[in-house]
Structure 1
């Protein structure tokens, strides 16, 4: 029977902790003649619980050794740290990959390198940037499961009425956005392009040929000519009146045909497909001034916490879901999520779908945010707040980048 030595060491210690009968936070492996329980945590709730339970049931029916059950948790990362202290952890966690570089150094996650080596898992089957988010200091802490990116959604009816086609670069994007903007007595009634999310700066920066951090990832690099080019482009769109701050804050203005174009992810498709009369399309994000393509991917992985009582069962479930392409496609059919397994993502279910196809094409060059401790704070506490002040007209583009750089460099220094 395969075992992970580090997990076994923690298990020996954790077994001394008195468990509470009936607690759903961890499994009671080995108790009885039936399949061993494998408890999965995640932050998914609502209809997504049914999706995960359906996938778990497929695994449970595929073999007789383990039975996976899903227990939703709010603030799953923080809950995991609390549970580690009490010795009550789940066996596997549906995990935001972006959090790996923050929580692995805290001792929250168990490396899976021995499992990978013993089962000879070929890492080339995964999108490399997604796999890289699961690696910290040379150790692999999980497998990528689901991926996403932001591509350009457009209202086909509005574009046809305005006599424009889906844009392929920034110049065409601006031209189309202006043609699609409608005002009534000076009041914006139809936005040409949604500019509400300053967090999309990273993908515009990639399209401009810039980068978020310097080569050794010790300092920010977005206060650059390329970063300024992005903000100047945004300003030109705002000056043209294609969007106003606060427009569409109530409801879904794209679904309501009040916004003609927006950068959004595949999670939006299931909602849009239910809107009567909405004809929309999806294309890759427009290229930058020099033809550079740029996009960022996010998504989830599966990890085994330190102290998991049934690490082997968790591993078998992870391996079944992530390495066997048909299982990734099956969950895509259930949920609409794109698998991190390249073969699964390129299944006809996605590539022959008029809306998913562009997302799959964008995956070919999408990158991930820097996998260094502290960058999430740089983004959330320094960069995005400065960009919000810029978009609201409080500060200039130059000041926004300067402020974000100074605070961001301090945050990176504090986390080294």
Structure 2
């Protein structure tokens, strides 16, 4: 999931001792693996958002320790950042306290255009073609690659096989069928579908893409096209039917509403599949968001996290060595990161092929869906642009004029996009 989708990431807020950087609360960090007074000549500060999956922070620290063992001149401090990671990162990048290496969700090309992150083409070497083309393209700005994808997070629709079967409902293949299924599965005891506590989540984006519209095309806001207007307006049907679960204790990124039998269908992510399987066994299946209508296309969202190097940091060369070592050279650690703490798809094709936990059942189906229907958000889809779009969609599903609202939002978004492109 994107760090820009929500102020509180899907992996949740982790507590703990805090330190303050540039007046903002940031997460606690480990001691440098090389020791502050040891043989290391350089100490890198590496930022991660606060993953909620058990073992992630320990894994990141273990990787850093292994790097320093192989590179004794460079120590690594792992900083775990809870809460609104994206805002804290953007604020920090304007200061001398900025991290040397950091991860970012839904890669933003404006970081490259503003000179805040370093081009990393020289790190890929012969491994370049082994990275998924979509992941390579996502970090490419004007012909240069400015990051290395760490994991692909896939978002799709989960459904309860037994519940749909008992109701005589076939897993929905079109938007009309999804609306009908959600309505039929809604009872006095619960709703048929959960897409987010606000009743929207990713659905406005999915609606546009599933009707073969675009969010941004050739540097222009495109979510006010006729296809987009038609599809976003169509989401009102789910709200009119009152078939959406609203205001659950956790949001769409957590599978609790699904695993606790609150809803029989939920939009969630591949990361949650181990939890779902533990709770439900084989009583679940996965689907893409269905095509809006004939001629449309199913969609699954591809998000994830990308490792970047602070171009204005004091340790650029050492930071590049760390990124190359961990996310390009150490395929065993890449595999561990992708399938050891929730499920994610490794960006490298060879590593993905060796990920045995993704080779069977619904996980295998999800990998195939991502390859066939996966869509990344555009590189100019920052929080400002996304908020304008989602705010318009929120008004549309309650009866607002879709064409007028999306046209106004697109006009405002264009000013932000132009600013991003100009650097």
**In structure 2, how many angstroms separate the alpha carbons of the residues matched to 1:136 and 1:25?**
35
Aligned to 1:53: 61
Aligned to 1:17: none
**In structure 2, how many angstroms separate the alpha carbons of the residues matched to 1:131 and 1:279?**
36
**In structure 1, how many angstroms separate the alpha carbons of the residues matched to 2:173 and 2:62?**
39
Task: State how many pairs are aligned.
Answer: 379
CA distance change for structure 1 residues 353 and 285 in 2, over 3 Å: closer, same or farther?
farther
Q: How does 1:279-298 map to 2 (within 5 A)?
A: 279-289=283-293, 290-298=295-303
Task: Confirm or deny that 1:174 pairs with 2:179.
Answer: yes
Task: Confirm or deny that 1:351 pairs with 2:351.
Answer: no
- 8 Å contact 1:26–1:90 — kept in the other structure? no
CA offset at residue 366 of structure 1?
1.5
Aligned to 2:412: 407
**In structure 2, how many angstroms separate the alpha carbons of the residues matched to 1:172 and 1:401?**
26
- 8 Å contact 2:45–2:76 — kept in the other structure? yes
- Structure 2 segments unaligned to the other structure (5+ residues): 1-28
Q: Which moved more, 1:296-305 or 1:355-364?
A: 355-364
Task: Confirm or deny that 1:41 pairs with 2:47.
Answer: yes
SS of 2:47's equivalent?
strand
Q: How does 1:229-378 map to 2 (within 5 A)?
A: 229-243=230-244, 246=246, 248=248, 252-275=256-279, 279-289=283-293, 290-324=295-329, 325-336=331-342, 337-364=344-371, 365-372=373-380, 375-378=382-385
Aligned to 2:214: 211
SS of 1:150's equivalent?
strand
**In structure 2, how many angstroms separate the alpha carbons of the residues matched to 1:294 and 1:329?**
26
- CA deviations over 1:353-410 (Å, ceiling 9, x no partner): 42322321122131222223x7542211x1100111222x151333432332333234
**In structure 2, how many angstroms separate the alpha carbons of the residues matched to 1:339 and 1:145?**
7
SS of 1:39's equivalent?
strand
- 8 Å contact 2:35–2:75 — kept in the other structure? no
CA offset at residue 292 of structure 1?
1.7
Aligned to 2:5: none
- 8 Å contact 2:160–2:285 — kept in the other structure? yes
CA offset at residue 339 of structure 1?
1.7
SS of 2:300's equivalent?
coil
Normalised by the length of structure 1, the TM-score is 0.78
Q: Which runs of 4+ in 1 moved over 6 A?
A: 23-31
User: What value does the CA root-mean-square deviation take over the aligned residues?
Assistant: 3.4
Q: How does 1:12-161 map to 2 (within 5 A)?
A: 33=39, 37-44=43-50, 47=54, 48-60=56-68, 66-74=74-82, 79=88, 87-99=96-108, 101-116=109-124, 120-161=125-166
CA offset at residue 171 of structure 1?
3.6
- 8 Å contact 1:38–1:314 — kept in the other structure? yes
**Which structure has the bigger radius of gyration?**
1
Q: Which moved more, 1:347-356 or 1:382-391?
A: 347-356
- 8 Å contact 2:385–2:413 — kept in the other structure? yes
- 8 Å contact 2:33–2:76 — kept in the other structure? no
**In structure 2, how many angstroms separate the alpha carbons of the residues matched to 1:110 and 1:146?**
20
- Structure 1 segments unaligned to the other structure (5+ residues): 1-22
CA distance change for structure 1 residues 305 and 229 in 2, over 3 Å: closer, same or farther?
same
**In structure 1, how many angstroms separate the alpha carbons of the residues matched to 2:31 and 2:275?**
32
Return the match for 2:203 from 183, 196, 200: 200
CA offset at residue 147 of structure 1?
1.0
**In structure 2, how many angstroms separate the alpha carbons of the residues matched to 1:395 and 1:267?**
35
